[in-house]
Structure 1
Amino acid sequence: MAPKRSKFAWLRFAIPIVVVVLSAGAFAFNYFTGTGNAQPGECLSVSEFTRTADEPKKADCGAQEANVKIAARVGGDEACPQGDYDTISMSGRISYKLCLAVNAKQGDCLTGYNSSTAGYQKVPCTDPGKDAELLKVADVVDEAVCEGTEATHVRSYSIPPTTLCLKVGK
């Protein structure tokens, strides 16, 4: 007489398959929405400039939440190009550093600009919490472009060549 087969014997094959499919799906989601394949010119939403925060998420550069643009992606120990970049270091199977520029246009106002870790947030210029206003954006690296403005802070990036003239308060 043949041994009786359990009705649930198929589960020993199905469970590992489901685990593999879910793991692959999570990897693909992170790869396409996280920074795994992020390249210069793409924008991110960064809530904090620390690795302990949620991983930055890709965002359309025109979206309100897209507060930084990737200027360069360098090896984990390499320095960013010359400039006032914010950085986020990512470690794992491949370690790298993202060199980030403020993603804002002339006339935008920000909150979180004075924080050493908080990500910038674009806010209406009437918002009492604003701590920076972008007065001028120039496609050159030259602090002199801010002369004649009310700028109290100048930020420049070598890649892409950009100078931001900001009026910073608080």
Structure 2
Amino acid sequence: MSLPPGSGAQPGDPYSHSPYGQSQYGQPQYGQPQYGQSYGSAPYGEPQFPQQPRYGEIPTGPPPMPMPPVPPKKSKTGAIVAAIVVALAVVGGAVTLFVVNQQSDRMGIDGEDVAVGQCITVDGSDELALAKSVDCSDPKALWQVAANLDSTSSPCPDGDYDEYHYNSGTKLCLTLNVKTGDCLANLSGNMAEISKVNCTDAGAEVVILAAQDGVTDVEGVCGGFEDAFGGGYYSEPARVLCFGYPRGV
């Protein structure tokens, strides 16, 4: 299941900034203010001096600087927000895409050789990721193959799948290989950085409150947990995951 931040989009989207300000054409007449200047003020670019107080007035300085905002109190909200990112980007439906080049294909597993139900690990970065086959009982086996599609344009089954793309044009639809009681860390990272950890670990950000097979009703399953802040589901195979935060976070 995938989070943060454009569904099906490649990482590193650029941001643009709009230009500010535009000069006016022509010269203002004498006695008229220029754009953005009030009557009686100095022309743009000329130094302005504070107005002298009149007789009997107490000189005043510039208005005081505004007080800085009070920093928010630390709470469990940070962990909850980070976990919600998991519900959106790690368990949110093909948000993070990983493209493996031909060299990595030779070093790792080829998309055509991956069987449904097989577990994999993902190493590398967003630009160059490498999938390796591992036993599903391995603590590092965070991802399980739910579908192997011939085209990257073919949709994964209904649900919150992550996707692993190959340069050959094929892709894997992945589910989280987790069970009830598992905890996850490094949720703000990419697929290679997210990991299972002990729930007493200081880095634990999410606990799997429930991993129920054979159902797709997230609300029906997760609604029974007081600490659940979100959940996700898969249709093939049918499964619901409920997310909470570890005790003491």
- The TM-score, its normalising length taken from structure 2, stands at 0.51
- Whether 1:90 aligns to 2:166 is yes
- For 2:244 and 2:125, the matched residues in 1 are separated by 22
Q: CA RMSD in A?
A: 2.4
Matched, 1:102 2:176: yes
Q: Equivalent residue of 1:145, what SS?
A: helix
Task: Extract unaligned runs of 5+ from structure 1.
Answer: 1-26
| CA distance in 2 between partners of 1:132 and 1:166 (Å) | 6
| Counterpart-to-counterpart distance in 2, 1:168 and 1:47 | 26
Aligned partner of 1:161 among 235, 238, 241: 238
- Counterpart of 1:14? none
Report the equivalent of 1:13: none
Selected match of 1:59 from 112, 134, 155: 134
Pairwise CA distance, 1:48: 5.6
Q: Which has the higher helix share?
A: 1
Give 1:57 deviation, angstroms. 0.6
Match of 1:130 among 191, 204, 219: 204
Q: Which has the higher contact order (CA 8 A, sep 6+)?
A: 2
TM-aligned CA deviation for residue 34 of structure 1: 1.3
Q: Secondary structure at the match of 2:123?
A: coil
1:47 offset after TM fit, Å? 3.4
Q: Which amino acid aligns with 2:217?
A: D
Separation (CA, whole Å) in 2 of partners of 1:87 and 1:128? 29
Q: CA 1:62 to 1:88, structure 2 compared with 1: closer, same or farther past 3 Å?
A: same
Q: How does 1:6-155 map to 2 (within 5 A)?
A: 30=106, 34-36=109-111, 37-47=113-123, 50=126, 52-74=127-149, 75-92=151-168, 95-115=169-189, 117-139=191-213, 140-143=215-218, 144-149=220-225, 150-155=227-232
In structure 2, do the counterparts of structure 1 residues 162 and 135 end up closer, same or farther at CA, with 3 Å as the change threshold? same
Q: How many residues align?
A: 139
Q: Residues 153 and 168 of structure 1 are in contact (CA less than 8 Å); yes or no, is this contact kept in structure 2?
A: no
Unaligned segments of structure 2, at least 5 residues: 1-102
TM-score in terms of structure 1 length: 0.73
Residue 54 (structure 1) shift: 3.2
Counting strand residues as a fraction of each chain, which structure ranks higher? 1
